[in-house]
Amino acid sequence: AQKVTQAQTEISVVEKEDVTLDCVYETRDTTYYLFWYKQPPSGELVFLIRRNSFDEQNEISGRYSWNFQKSTSSFNFTITASQVVDSAVYFCALRDTGRRALTFGSGTRLQVQP
């Protein structure tokens, strides 16, 4: 069975600090996909990134970067120079061949103070 663990329940930082959100996953499949979503106070989930299990290259998109390490089953998300608008709940998710739906972690609430 698949499982996603986000051990950090809540993180509070001051604007311009860098922050890393951790994600650890479990799956028996060799082919799987990992995702990150952002949930602002409005409630709607916003897609951030999708990564397949064969692509271990790190990804950078503006202030966002993702570090995928199969050896430790981790897919961590870093925000550089955080801003107040980054305040939200962030979810990591997994989809493998065993089920055609995403399994989500419990989320990390990020609060960026001005």
When the beta carbons of 27 and 103 are compared against another protein, the nearer one is 103
Q: What SS3 string covers the chain?
A: CCEEECCCCEEEEECCCCEEECCEEECCCCCEEEEEEEECCCCCCEEEEEEECCCCCCEEECCEEEEEEHHHCEEEEEECCCCHHHCEEEEEEEEECCCCCCEECCCEEEEEEC
Mask: binding to another protein, 66-105, rule CB under 8 A, as x and -? -------------------------x---x----xxxxxx
Q: How many residues bind another protein (CB under 8 A)?
A: 22
**Shortest approach of another protein to residue 15 CB, angstroms?**
26
The verdict on 64 binding another protein (CB under 8 A) reads no
